[in-house]
Amino acid sequence: MINIALPDDALTDWDSWRTPLRQFSQATGLAVAAYDIQCVRQVGPLLASGTARLLSGSSLWHDDGAGTALERRLVVGVLASDGAQCDSLHGMRVCATPLQQFGQVYGVLVYGWAFSDFSSPLECEKIARLTGVSSQALWNEVRLTTPVSNARMDTYTALLGTLVSTIDRQRETIEELTRVNKTRDLFLATVSHEMRTPLAALSLRVEVLLRTVKDLPPQVESGLQAMRVHVRQEAGMVEDLIDAARTLTGQMSIALVPTDLGRVLRDAVSTIEEQAHAKSIALSVFPPDHGDGIVLQADGRRLQQVLWNLLLNAIKFTPDAGAIQIGIAQGSSHLEIEVTDNGQGIAAADLPHVFGAFTLQTQANATGLGLGLYIARRIVELHGGSLTVTSAGRDMGSTFTVRLPLA
């Protein structure tokens, strides 16, 4: 008894083999079947020649038939050797070849059931007695069927080998992609838990110390204030990494609901007012109502993230005492939001790369991972809109334009 360590074939999609094997059978005239590693026929027999179709009404391929017994012997031989096997039944040649994935056999293809030369009535008589068909009918059919010579069978075997190799390599690729996707999901879950949790705990402890401990020494208070800034930066980078990974893999999603632009824009502005004030940057919105009454079909939280990213980017690259203006223009079917600054601007050669992942500016003490604009554009596109940028060049400022469809 030979013990062979083989993969579990319970999840093998045998139905996907039916079409290519049927096409091979029709093109060659050979009978074809597929077996799993338990010697159970999963596909076939697929029959194309007149002889094979006549024999399909006999006991040849019954569970206890002589043909099934021969095929199972071939399957066992292939599983034991991982190599091709051939045999014959009264002149009818039958071959078998393994199905392999990642170097392991998960099934066997059996093909043939054709005479290698013109048969004789005597051989047909033997097959007829074995299977229970009319010997005369079998002989009449066989002599009208072109034999499959050894050379032609070798050609068919090579063609089948190419077909099997191509399909199995595709299956390996799909399996590898599935594995990579699972690894990615595990990575996102790990990053989400292992990095968010300690950062949140650290941020909470810093806030508690700053709010509850009175008369902190100036150096300690300054150090805690710096820790607060750095923790927020690290938390922002973690969120950007997670969002970028979701964007790259198509997992980022949005929930579109009726959303008031005024509220979203006010919330976005409030999150960056402190940074603008620290650099004495004049921040203005036109019209001053922030777009109250304009309703979008949008994900409010994600849209706020876009505007926050654009405003923070503008502050980062605008010098002290500079100016940033937010303009809102409503058309018949679309809404445009422009964020314009008089900062360092963007060179013409750099404009095509602004929205690329991990694109970092090298001036103005740029920080972060260079993912903010990449994520922002993807969010806008998920809303059915567009995010573009224009600049007259270095030190000439820049304008980012968000264009969104109206509800």
- Residue among 40, 45, 114 at smallest CA distance from 79: 40
Domain ranges of the chain: 15-148, 179-248, 257-405
131-135 average pLDDT score: 86
- What is the pLDDT, as a whole number, of residue 358? 61
- What is the pLDDT, as a whole number, of residue 157? 86
pLDDT, tens only, 10-54: 457 788 888 888 888 888 889 999 999 999 999 989 998 888 888
373-384 average pLDDT score: 89
pLDDT range class, residue 250, cuts 50, 70, 90: low
259-285 average pLDDT score: 91
Lookup: tokens for 20: 């290519």
**Main-chain phi, psi angles of 248, to 5 degrees:** -60, -35
- Return the percentage of the chain with pLDDT > 70, whole number: 87
Domain 257-405 in the same topology as domain 15-148? no
pLDDT, tens only, 50-80: 888 888 888 999 998 999 999 999 999 999 8
Q: Which CATH number fits domain 15-148: 3.30.450, 3.30.2020, 2.60.40, 1.10.3470?
A: 3.30.450
Q: Which pTM was predicted?
A: 0.50
In Å, the largest CA–CA distance within the chain is 112
Burial 233-245 (b: 16+ CB within 10 A, else e): eebbbbbbbbbbb
- What is the pLDDT, as a whole number, of residue 204? 86
- What is the pLDDT, as a whole number, of residue 10? 46
- What is the pLDDT, as a whole number, of residue 120? 74
Mean pLDDT of the residues in the chain? 83
pLDDT, tens only, 315-347: 999 999 999 999 999 988 899 999 999 998 898
pLDDT range class, residue 5, cuts 50, 70, 90: very low
- What is the pLDDT, as a whole number, of residue 11? 55
In DSSP terms, which residues pair with 260 in a beta bridge?
295
Contact partners, residue 143, CB within 8 Å, separation at least 6: 118, 119
Q: Which CATH number fits domain 257-405: 3.40.50.720, 3.30.1380.10, 3.30.565.10, 3.40.50.300?
A: 3.30.565.10
Least confident among 146-160, 163-177, 202-216, 230-244: 230-244
- Return the percentage of the chain with pLDDT > 90, whole number: 28
- d(CA 245, CA 253) in angstroms, rounded, equals 12
- What is the pLDDT, as a whole number, of residue 324? 96
294-307 average pLDDT score: 91
pLDDT range class, residue 369, cuts 50, 70, 90: low
